[in-house]
């Protein structure tokens, strides 16, 4: 038994497949991909339905427009690059050793699958599982398995479906293929045509020494290819894992429904790709390209990583509705970061918390109503300024706060916003103050506690705090916090002590 075993994946007409992968509504229609400058575009790639309609490679745009019900799309190199990354990521699940074998309009990879029998079974079973994974990712590809690198590549490029070449039967499997399968240079192809050589079987039957004497050392390699014995040094590439989807619109899009239609398909693909690695989507980054090389970028952070497609699509809808792009959208990029989905362990007697998905949707709706900086979790800032805090994104923690019995303590109830008051001083101490409820006589005062900072900027402060006990006009007693803004020369009632 040979120590080498290869599986070649060949996705033909890849420019057309890349454009149709996210356009499920066009996959059954005849579609051609045009390349070139208007109005001299030519057909660069097409699907099978377009071939049945009579479309051929190289025909002009005018000729293509003459075919009824034929859909014309412009080639997008960015879409092809994103689709190639997805295809490479898909095949990397079956082998870490991968070599690229792409052509002008094909995307191909050769996998070294020697020793994978214990993981995936016989080569035929592996090929079936590989093809099913490719179909789930939106690709149609032919697969050939052989102990010879070049035999697998040639057979995959010239056949459809799955082909498994038994060891030692490479020449027989390649015998009936046309000579064009070797992609010879035009002058050599004409020479073989003059000799009457049409198939690989006829090329393999030629005498090696006479063939080399007439055409040089290249002819020996072609003959070995035809016989399925050509040697090859494997050159693996690195498959980078990146959860990213890209879509280039034919015309600028202004309606949110069109964005969400493509966004739903993108989320489906990202969830499926993340699930193969036991990951969830922790963040979604939306990048919309606008006219004038402008970008509209938003980041969606669920409270917990999720693979719920409907939930993620709802968050995308709320985010775009709350922050719509200021112009028509030219292209749509959706990038995700993988994360581990965690389980929140609740206490036996702890109150039931809402589901993270429902909580995220509620928070997104509250942000749309109240504002981005008014919803979240309060976090104290690292400053000496009294009451300084900011709002951070809300997140669910797996830890539960324990409740310990403690003695009652005095609570400080902040007034937001603070109440402006007029203060009467006696020997630099507050003696009385007046607010909307009337006059208050101060019976005891403690202070002052002064603080200042950021004097070099417009947000600086210089404050003086007093804790006071006061007697109201109706006979009631209050304990409160009075603050003097020394920069503005104003007094305000900041808080009550309960």
What pLDDT, on the 0 to 100 scale, is given for residue 175? 93
Task: Provide mean pLDDT across the span 214-225.
Answer: 92
Q: Which residues, including other chains, have CB under 8 Å from residue 436's CB and lie 6 or more apart? A: 419
- Between 56-70, 345-359, 396-410, the lowest mean confidence (pLDDT) is in 396-410
Would you say residue 2 has pLDDT above 70? no
Task: Provide mean pLDDT across the span 91-120.
Answer: 92
Residue 262: pLDDT band (50, 70, 90) is very high
The better pLDDT of the pair 394, 333 is held by: 333
The better pLDDT of the pair 376, 480 is held by: 480
Report the alpha-carbon distance of residue 203 to residue 381 in Å, rounded. Answer: 78
Report the alpha-carbon distance of residue 293 to residue 23 in Å, rounded. Answer: 25
Copy the structure tokens of residue 169. Answer: 């039967």
Residue 74: pLDDT band (50, 70, 90) is very high
Rounded percentage of the chain residues whose pLDDT exceeds 90 = 60
SS (H, E, C) the chain: CCCCCEEEEEECCHHHHHHHCCCHHHCCCCEEEEECCCCCCEEEEECHHHHHHCCCCCCEHHHHHCCCCCEEEECCHHHHHHHHHHHHHHHCCCCCCEEECCCCCCEEEEEECCCCHHHHCCHHHHHHHHHHHHHHCCCCCEEEEECCHHHHHHHHHHCCCEEECCCCCHHHHHCCCEHHHHCCCHHHHHHHHHHCCCEHHHHHCCCHHHHHHHHCHHHHHHHHHHHCCCCCCCCCECCCCCEEEEEEEEEEECCHHHHHHHHHHHHHHHHHHHHCCCCEEEEEEEEEEECCCEEEEEEECCCCCECCHHHHHHHHHHHHHHCCCCCCEEEEEEEEEEECCCCCCCCCCCCCCCCHHHHHHHHHHHHHHHCHHHCCEEEECCCCCCCCEEEECCCCCCCCCCCCCCCCCCCEEEEEEEEEEEEEEECCEEEEEEECCEEEEEEEEEEEEEEEECCCCCCCEEEEEEEEEEEECCCCEEEEEEEEECCCCEEEEEEEEC
Give burial (CB, 10 Å; 0-12/13-18/19+) of 194.
Answer: exposed
What pLDDT, on the 0 to 100 scale, is given for residue 367? 81
The better pLDDT of the pair 356, 431 is held by: 431
Instruction: Indicate the CATH number of 252-343+354-395 among 1.10.10, 3.30.160, 3.30.1490, 3.30.43.
Output: 3.30.1490
What pLDDT, on the 0 to 100 scale, is given for residue 393? 75
- Range(s) for CATH 3.30.1490 in the chain? 252-343+354-395
What pLDDT, on the 0 to 100 scale, is given for residue 90? 92
Residue 99: pLDDT band (50, 70, 90) is very high
CB 99 within 8 A of CB 93: no
Report the alpha-carbon distance of residue 246 to residue 57 in Å, rounded. Answer: 26
Would you say residue 349 has pLDDT above 70? no
- Range(s) for CATH 3.30.70.270 in the chain? 6-227
Task: Provide mean pLDDT across the span 440-461.
Answer: 86
What pLDDT, on the 0 to 100 scale, is given for residue 1? 53
Residue 377: pLDDT band (50, 70, 90) is confident
Would you say residue 487 has pLDDT above 80? yes
Residue 343: pLDDT band (50, 70, 90) is low
- Between 30-34, 59-63, 180-184, 384-388, the lowest mean confidence (pLDDT) is in 384-388
Report the alpha-carbon distance of residue 323 to residue 60 in Å, rounded. Answer: 42
Residues in the chain: 498
What pLDDT, on the 0 to 100 scale, is given for residue 384? 78
- Between 177-181, 218-222, 363-367, the lowest mean confidence (pLDDT) is in 363-367
Report the alpha-carbon distance of residue 489 to residue 55 in Å, rounded. Answer: 82
What pLDDT, on the 0 to 100 scale, is given for residue 221? 93
CATH 3.30.70.270 fits 6-227, yes or no: yes
Report the alpha-carbon distance of residue 99 to residue 237 in Å, rounded. Answer: 6
Report the alpha-carbon distance of residue 167 to residue 161 in Å, rounded. Answer: 19
Whether the full predicted model's pTM is greater than 0.85, yes or no, is no
Rounded percentage of the chain residues whose pLDDT exceeds 70 = 93
Task: Provide mean pLDDT across the span 262-285.
Answer: 91
pLDDT tens-digit readout, 415-435: 888 999 999 998 889 999 998
Report the alpha-carbon distance of residue 141 to residue 106 in Å, rounded. Answer: 10
What pLDDT, on the 0 to 100 scale, is given for residue 54? 93
Residue 345: pLDDT band (50, 70, 90) is low
What pLDDT, on the 0 to 100 scale, is given for residue 163? 94
Report the alpha-carbon distance of residue 241 to residue 407 in Å, rounded. Answer: 55
Report the alpha-carbon distance of residue 13 to residue 75 in Å, rounded. Answer: 12
The better pLDDT of the pair 474, 254 is held by: 254
pLDDT tens-digit readout, 395-415: 665 555 555 556 667 788 888
Quote the mean pLDDT of the chain: 88
What pLDDT, on the 0 to 100 scale, is given for residue 473? 74
Report the alpha-carbon distance of residue 417 to residue 491 in Å, rounded. Answer: 13
pLDDT tens-digit readout, 302-329: 878 888 899 999 999 989 988 899 999 9
What pLDDT, on the 0 to 100 scale, is given for residue 380? 84
CB 244 within 8 A of CB 321: no
Would you say residue 115 has pLDDT above 70? yes
Copy the structure tokens of residue 205. Answer: 């039957």
pLDDT tens-digit readout, 155-168: 999 999 999 999 99
What pLDDT, on the 0 to 100 scale, is given for residue 412? 84
């Amino acid at each position: 038994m040979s120590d080498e075993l290869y599986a070649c994946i060949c996705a033909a007409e890849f420019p057309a497949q890349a454009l149709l992968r996210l356009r499920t509504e066009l996959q059954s229609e005849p579609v051609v991909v045009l390349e070139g400058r208007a109005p001299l575009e030519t057909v660069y790639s097409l699907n099978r339905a377009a071939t049945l309609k009579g479309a051929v490679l190289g025909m002009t745009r005018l000729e293509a427009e003459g075919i009824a019900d034929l859909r014309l799309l412009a080639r997008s190199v960015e879409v092809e690059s994103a689709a190639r990354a997805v295809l490479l990521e898909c095949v990397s699940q079956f082998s870490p050793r991968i070599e690229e074998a792409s052509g002008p309009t094909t995307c191909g990879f050769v996998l070294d699958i020697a020793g994978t029998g214990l993981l995936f079974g016989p080569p035929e079973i592996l090929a079936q599982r590989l093809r099913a994974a490719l179909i789930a990712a939106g690709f149609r590809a032919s697969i050939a398995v052989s102990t010879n690198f070049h035999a697998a590549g040639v057979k995959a490029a010239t056949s459809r479906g799955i082909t498994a070449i038994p060891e030692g039967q490479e020449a027989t499997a390649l015998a009936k293929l046309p000579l064009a399968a070797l992609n010879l240079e035009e002058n050599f192809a004409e020479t073989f045509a003059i000799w009457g050589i049409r198939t690989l079987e006829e090329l393999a039957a030629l005498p090696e020494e006479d063939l080399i004497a007439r055409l040089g050392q290249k002819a020996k390699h072609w003959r070995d290819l035809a016989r399925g014995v050509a040697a090859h040094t494997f050159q693996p590439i690195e498959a980078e894992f990146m959860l990213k989807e890209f879509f280039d619109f034919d015309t600028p899009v202004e309606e949110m429904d069109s964005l969400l239609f493509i966004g739903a398909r993108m989320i489906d693909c990202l969830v499926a790709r993340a699930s193969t690695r036991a990951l969830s989507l922790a963040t979604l980054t939306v990048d919309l390209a606008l006219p004038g090389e402008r970008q509209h970028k938003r980041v969606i952070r669920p409270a917990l990583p999720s693979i719920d497609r409907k939930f993620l699509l709802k968050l995308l809808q709320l985010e775009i509705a709350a922050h719509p792009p200021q112009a028509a959208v030219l292209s749509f990029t959706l990038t995700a970061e993988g994360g581990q989905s965690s389980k929140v362990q609740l206490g036996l007697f702890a109150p039931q918390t809402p589901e993270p998905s429902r909580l995220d949707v509620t928070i997104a709706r509250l942000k749309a109503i109240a504002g981005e900086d008014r919803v979240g979790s309060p976090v104290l800032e690292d400053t000496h300024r009294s009451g300084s805090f900011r709002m951070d994104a809300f997140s669910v923690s797996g830890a539960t706060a324990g409740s310990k019995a403690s003695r009652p303590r005095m609570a400080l109830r902040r007034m937001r916003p603070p109440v402006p008051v007029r203060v009467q001083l006696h020997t630099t101490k507050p003696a009385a103050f007046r607010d909307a409820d009337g006059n208050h006589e101060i019976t005891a005062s403690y202070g002052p506690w002064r603080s200042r900072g950021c004097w070099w900027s417009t947000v600086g402060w210089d404050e003086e705090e007093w804790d006071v006990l006061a007697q109201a006009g109706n006979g009631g007693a209050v304990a409160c916090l009075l603050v003097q803004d020394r920069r503005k020369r104003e007094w305000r009632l900041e808080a009550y002590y309960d």
